[in-house]
């Protein structure tokens, strides 16, 4: 089953594929791009507090809820 | 051959790549120990450069600050671009973390598109192999049309192969004439940039199709998991700060080493020896200048080398260790929770922590913060409530004899920090930048690299500090000689009196303006002579901690923030320091105690 969620609503251990970056702020967009957070990429949520930590490939990125809210994922089960 | 005035100009090799991919390790392996670390002209960003020999030819190697793309987001990144454009490198060595090739390959494509002669280095192959990452190097090389070298520089693997490839490049091609986009772009161009960045990312994925596999994504070291654990991770970060700053800097640096350098070396050997020799000089004022109360040798050098050096040295060592271990971003992650409340973000932990070492350096480091608002807030808090290592060490030495005093001092300074930060958050216009940071894997740092960093920073520190100390000694000598010092001190006496402190303290406050640690050192001597009560010492310690930053930090504040902002900060800091100390004095006088 596929479900579209925003990254700040995910909990630790979940995996998903990025489908959209919903921000109009170019600086934020470029930062996300530089970390490899681009549509089509699969990420895994590692921690939700104090900020969200996701694993992209073999690297980890910490980001605050308000940034995570801009990232839309399709949740992948299992 | 290129000839220039003054001899042969060496061909340039520039190392580029994301932060934390091992550029510096490669740099030191190529150049040996003959590196010069200097600020790039017109900036305060450090760039290391040195000569290396490749197959019998000398080249000049530059280690550039980490970048994510050629369109810079920060001053450091802008510098890398300048370096690439101005040095017209014969070879650009793009170092990537092999594990994260899909993310980093777009930069290779960008460099190639700009016309740079690129060699791609897949570093950290050892870690990648352990995780099951598979890369077909020859295929990658032929798809990209450039040399691709596998390496693990921490073990020295791949350096020789890289040297051969650099030599091949030097013999083969002419220096390319690169072109680049301008640093600032109108909005439409931003869109174009983002579109082309996405395109490069797609292109990179296509190139890697069938020749790269991620391997096991779930494996992580236990330490990696521990440092991010909701409870243990926070405890670990506290333990790191305690061990790194309190034990190493406070106890070892400010305690044992200061006793050794100041107490034994200076007080028992150098000063008595100097006094004997200076006594032969026929001019009394010169004798005063060299070895009097404010003498260049007896005060300036003694403070700089006997008291400050051990503390700053141990601090820089601890900081370099944290930096090289990759732990700092995780510390920022944990600090974000607290700093968010005062309108800063986790990133600010780096200048703030650095402030516990040297405030002057920390003010420079506020550049890593994204918005002007955060830079002003951090500069203010650094000036107000962050004692530098020299000051901290001495205050700890004085106050830790009575744990209660130490506790009250910590509470007062911390409350001032939080209250001032919260007020600034309300008063300063704008919004804080959201926290966003890569958390690099933790690694055991190389002792050699840490020592090198520590020594380079200490050298920088002494270049900045020793002249200031000499200047202050001369100034105080002049003021004392003309009697002006007496009147200045006398003018401060009523204020000091309002804080319930003896008149001697006003001289110390005056020192404190010249250098924070100078003031603390003066207070320390007063403490040793047992002429202050516990409460008085506490009030004096609080006032001195919050009081004006040292002359060097002040200069840097003016340089970084401009005169109006710096003046406003100074005014507020002075008022706050006096008010806090006065309130503390009143509170201590309450009959409840």
Partners of B346 on chain A (C-beta within 8 Å) are 51, 62
| A3-76 is a CATH 2.30.30.90 domain | yes
Does B6 score more than 70 pLDDT?
A: no
Distance from CA of B422 to the nearest CA of A (A): 19
CB of B194 less than 8 A from some CB of A: yes
- Lowest mean pLDDT segment, chosen from A22-36, B52-66, B68-82, B165-179: B165-179
CB of A49 less than 8 A from some CB of B: yes
Angstrom CA distances, B541 to B238, B401, B434, B469, B560, stand at: 24, 14, 35, 22, 28
* Most confident option among B337-341, B365-369, B417-421, B488-492: B417-421
Q: Considering only residues B286 and B423, tell me which one the structure prediction assigns the higher pLDDT.
A: B423
Class level of CATH domain B3-216:
alpha beta
Every domain of chain A and the residues it spans:
3-76
CA distance B134 to B124: 13
Do A38 and B201 make contact, defined as CB atoms within 8 angstroms?
yes
Average pLDDT of span B273-290: 84
Grade residue B65 by pLDDT with cuts at 50, 70 and 90: confident
Grade residue B313 by pLDDT with cuts at 50, 70 and 90: confident
Q: Which residues contact A17 (CB under 8 A, 6 or more apart)?
A: A40, A41, A42, A43, A73, A74, A76
Predicted-assembly ipTM surpassing the 0.85 threshold:
yes
Do B228 and A46 make contact, defined as CB atoms within 8 angstroms?
yes
Partners of A56 on chain B (C-beta within 8 Å) are 103
Looking up tokens 């919260």 gives B422
Q: Which of B102, B193, B334 is facing A57, going by the closest CB pair?
A: B102
Q: Which of A28, A57, A62 is facing B100, going by the closest CB pair?
A: A57
| B148-150 sheet: strands from edge to edge | B35-39, B46-54, B57-63, B11-16, B91-97, B118-123, B148-150
Does A2 score more than 60 pLDDT?
A: yes
CB of A30 less than 8 A from some CB of B: yes
Does A19 score more than 80 pLDDT?
A: yes
What confidence tens digit (pLDDT) does each residue in B565-593 have? 999 999 999 999 999 999 999 998 887 66
Upper half-sphere CA count for residue B324 (Cβ side, 13 Å): 21
* Minimum Cα–Cα distance from B99: chain A residue: A58
What confidence tens digit (pLDDT) does each residue in B507-562 have? 888 777 666 566 777 777 777 777 788 888 889 889 888 987 777 788 788 888 99
CA distance B375 to B64: 24
Q: Which residues contact B391 (CB under 8 A, 6 or more apart)?
A: B516, B517, B519, B520, B544, B545
Distance from CA of B286 to the nearest CA of A (A): 59
Do B198 and A36 make contact, defined as CB atoms within 8 angstroms?
no
Partners of B99 on chain A (C-beta within 8 Å) are 57-59
* Minimum Cα–Cα distance from A64: chain B residue: B435
Q: What is the pLDDT of residue B61?
A: 93
Interface test with B, best of A25, A34, A55, A66 (most B CBs within 10 A): A34
Grade residue A9 by pLDDT with cuts at 50, 70 and 90: confident
Grade residue B13 by pLDDT with cuts at 50, 70 and 90: very high
The 3-state DSSP class for residue B437 equals: strand
Angstrom CA distances, B120 to A35, B95, B101, B587, stand at: 19, 6, 11, 65
| A52-56 sheet: strands from edge to edge | A3-6, A71-76, A15-21, A42-47, A52-56, A59-63, B436-439
End-to-end C-alpha distance for chain A, whole angstroms = 11
Average pLDDT of span B132-157: 92
Does B166 score more than 90 pLDDT?
A: yes
Looking up tokens 């990420």 gives A43
Q: Which of A36, A53, A66 is facing B228, going by the closest CB pair?
A: A53
The size of the A-B interface in CB pairs under 8 A is: 106
CB of B336 less than 8 A from some CB of A: yes
Q: What is the pLDDT of residue B337?
A: 84
Please state, as a whole number, how many other Cβ atoms lie within 10 Å of the Cβ of residue B339. Answer: 24
CB of B315 less than 8 A from some CB of A: no
Does B429 score more than 60 pLDDT?
A: yes
Q: What is the pLDDT of residue B60?
A: 92
Q: What is the pLDDT of residue B36?
A: 61
Do B228 and A36 make contact, defined as CB atoms within 8 angstroms?
no
Q: B54 - beta bridge partners?
A: B57
* Most confident option among B5-14, B65-74, B163-172, B223-232: B163-172
What is the percent of chain B where pLDDT is above 90? 22
Q: State the SS3 of B125-177.
A: HHHHHHCCCEECHHHHHHHHCCCEEECEHHHCECHHHHHHHHHHHHHHCCCCC
Q: Which residues contact B30 (CB under 8 A, 6 or more apart)?
A: B13, B50, B52, B61, B159, B162, B163
**How would you classify the pairing of strands B118-123 and B148-150?**
parallel
Residue A18 gets which letter from DSSP?
A: E
Tokens of B502: 């003896």
Nearest to B513 by CA among B482, B481, B539, B552: B552
CB of A11 less than 8 A from some CB of B: no
Does B183 score more than 60 pLDDT?
A: no
Q: Which of A38, A50, A60 is facing B439, going by the closest CB pair?
A: A60
Q: What is the pLDDT of residue B5?
A: 39
Q: What is the pLDDT of residue B264?
A: 87
- Lowest mean pLDDT segment, chosen from B88-97, B195-204, B362-371, B417-426: B362-371
Do B436 and A29 make contact, defined as CB atoms within 8 angstroms?
no
Does B2 score more than 70 pLDDT?
A: no
Grade residue B159 by pLDDT with cuts at 50, 70 and 90: very high
Does B14 score more than 90 pLDDT?
A: yes
In B483-526, beta strands by DSSP E: none
Task: Tell which B residues from 262 to 281 touch A, by Cβ distance under 8 Å.
Answer: none
Q: Are B578 and B545 in contact (CB under 8 A)?
A: no
Angstrom CA distances, B308 to B259, B366, B525, stand at: 12, 23, 15
Please state, as a whole number, how many other Cβ atoms lie within 10 Å of the Cβ of residue B533. Answer: 12
Q: Are B51 and B31 in contact (CB under 8 A)?
A: yes
* Minimum Cα–Cα distance from A47: chain B residue: B228
Farthest CA pair distance, chain A: 34
Average pLDDT of span B100-126: 92
Q: Are B416 and B384 in contact (CB under 8 A)?
A: yes
Q: B37 - beta bridge partners?
A: B48
Distance from CA of B99 to the nearest CA of A (A): 6
Angle, helices B159-172 vs B23-31, to 10°: value is: 80
End-to-end C-alpha distance for chain B, whole angstroms = 82
Distance from CA of A3 to the nearest CA of B (A): 23
Average pLDDT of span B414-423: 94
Q: B92 - beta bridge partners?
A: B14, B118
Grade residue A18 by pLDDT with cuts at 50, 70 and 90: very high
Every domain of chain B and the residues it spans:
3-216, 232-589
CB of B368 less than 8 A from some CB of A: no
Q: What is the pLDDT of residue B589?
A: 84
**How would you classify the pairing of strands B35-39 and B46-54?**
antiparallel
SS3 content of chain B, % helix, strand, coil (to 5): 65, 10, 25
Q: Which residues contact B442 (CB under 8 A, 6 or more apart)?
A: B221, B223, B224, B227, B325, B326, B327, B330
What confidence tens digit (pLDDT) does each residue in B459-488 have? 877 887 778 778 877 887 888 788 887 888
Grade residue B121 by pLDDT with cuts at 50, 70 and 90: very high
Alpha carbon of residue A48 to chain centroid:
11
Distance from CA of A8 to the nearest CA of B (A): 14
Grade residue B1 by pLDDT with cuts at 50, 70 and 90: very low
Do B197 and A30 make contact, defined as CB atoms within 8 angstroms?
yes
CA distance B299 to B258: 15
Q: What is the pLDDT of residue B184?
A: 53
Distance from CA of A65 to the nearest CA of B (A): 9
Compute the mean pLDDT over every residue in chain B, rounded to the nearest whole number. 83
Do A61 and B197 make contact, defined as CB atoms within 8 angstroms?
no
Please state, as a whole number, how many other Cβ atoms lie within 10 Å of the Cβ of residue B373. Answer: 19
Do B103 and A66 make contact, defined as CB atoms within 8 angstroms?
no
Interface test with B, best of A28, A48, A62, A76 (most B CBs within 10 A): A62
Partners of B131 on chain A (C-beta within 8 Å) are 58
Q: Are B316 and B453 in contact (CB under 8 A)?
A: yes
In A1-78, beta strands by DSSP E: 3-6, 15-21, 42-47, 52-56, 59-63, 71-76
Residue B334: φ, ψ to 5°:
-75, -35
Looking up tokens 């001899």 gives B7
Partners of A33 on chain B (C-beta within 8 Å) are 69, 194, 197-198, 201
* Backbone angle region of B316, left / alpha / beta, with phi > 0 → left and psi within -120 to 50 → alpha: alpha
Q: Are B310 and B258 in contact (CB under 8 A)?
A: yes
Q: Are B66 and B19 in contact (CB under 8 A)?
A: yes
């Amino acid at each position: 089953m596929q479900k579209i969620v925003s990254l700040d609503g995910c909990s630790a251990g979940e995996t998903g594929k990025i489908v959209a970056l919903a921000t109009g702020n170019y600086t934020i967009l470029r930062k996300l791009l530089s970390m490899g957070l681009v549509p089509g990429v699969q990420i895994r949520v590692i921690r939700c507090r104090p900020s969200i930590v996701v694993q992209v490939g073999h690297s980890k990125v910490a980001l605050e809820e308000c940034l995570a809210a801009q990232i839309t994922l399709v949740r992948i089960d299992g | 051959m290129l000839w220039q005035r003054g001899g042969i100009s060496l061909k340039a090799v520039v190392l580029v790549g994301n932060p934390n991919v091992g550029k510096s390790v490669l740099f030191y392996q190529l150049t040996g120990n003959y590196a010069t670390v200097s600020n790039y002209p017109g900036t305060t960003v450090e760039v290391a450069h040195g000569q290396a020999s490749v197959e019998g030819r000398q080249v000049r190697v530059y280690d550039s600050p980490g970048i994510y793309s050629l369109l810079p987001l920060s001053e450091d990144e802008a510098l890398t671009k300048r370096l690439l454009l101005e040095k017209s490198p014969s070879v650009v060595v793009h170092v990537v973390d092999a594990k994260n090739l899909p993310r980093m390959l777009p930069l290779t494509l960008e460099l190639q598109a700009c016309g740079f002669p690129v060699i791609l280095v897949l570093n950290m192959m050892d870690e990648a192999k352990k995780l099951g990452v598979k890369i077909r190097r020859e295929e990658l090389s032929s798809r990209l049309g450039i040399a691709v070298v596998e390496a693990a520089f921490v073990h020295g693997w791949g350096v020789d192969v890289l040297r051969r490839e650099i030599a091949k490049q030097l013999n083969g091609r002419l220096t390319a004439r690169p072109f680049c986009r301008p640093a600032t772009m109108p909005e439409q161009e931003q869109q174009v940039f983002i579109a082309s960045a996405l395109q490069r990312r797609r292109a990179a994925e296509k190139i890697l199709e069938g020749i790269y596999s991620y391997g096991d994504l779930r494996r992580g070291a236990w330490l990696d998991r521990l440092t991010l654990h909701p409870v243990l991770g926070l405890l670990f970060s506290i333990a790191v700060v305690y061990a790194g700053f309190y034990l190493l800097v406070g106890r070892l640096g400010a305690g044992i080493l200061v006793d050794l350098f100041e107490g034994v070396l200076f007080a028992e050997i150098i000063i008595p020896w100097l006094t004997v020799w200076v006594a032969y000089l026929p001019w009394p004022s010169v004798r005063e200048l060299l070895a009097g109360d404010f003498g260049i040798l007896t005060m300036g050098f003694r403070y700089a080398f006997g008291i400050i050096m051990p503390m700053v040295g141990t601090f820089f060592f601890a900081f370099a260790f944290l930096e090289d271990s990759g732990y700092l971003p995780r510390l920022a992650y944990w600090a974000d929770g607290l700093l968010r409340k005062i309108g800063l973000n986790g990133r600010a932990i780096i200048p703030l922590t650095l402030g516990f070492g040297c405030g002057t350096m920390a003010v420079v480091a506020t550049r890593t913060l994204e918005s002007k608002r955060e830079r002003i807030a951090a500069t203010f808090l650094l000036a107000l409530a962050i004692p530098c290592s020299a000051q901290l060490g001495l205050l700890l030495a004085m106050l830790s004899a009575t744990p209660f005093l130490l506790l009250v001092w910590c509470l007062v300074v911390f409350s001032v920090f939080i209250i001032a930060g919260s007020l600034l958050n309300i008063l300063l216009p704008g919004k804080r930048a959201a926290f966003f940071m890569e958390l690099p894997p933790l690694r055991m740092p190389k002792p050699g690299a840490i020592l090198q960093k520590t020594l380079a920073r200490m050298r920088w520190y002494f270049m900045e500090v020793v002249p200031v100390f000499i200047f202050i000694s001369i100034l105080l000598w002049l003021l004392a000689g003309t009697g002006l010092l007496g009147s200045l001190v006398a003018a401060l006496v009523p204020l000091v009196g309002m804080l319930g402190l003896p008149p001697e303290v006003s001289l110390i406050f005056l020192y404190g303006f010249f250098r924070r640690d100078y003031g603390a050192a003066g207070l320390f001597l007063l403490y040793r002579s047992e002429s202050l009560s516990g409460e008085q010492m506490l009030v004096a310690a609080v006032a001195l901690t919050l009081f004006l930053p040292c002359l060097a930090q002040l200069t840097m504040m003016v340089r970084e923030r401009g005169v109006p902002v710096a003046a406003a900060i100074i005014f507020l800091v002075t008022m706050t320091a006096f008010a806090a100390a006065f309130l503390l004095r009143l509170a201590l006088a309450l009959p409840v105690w």
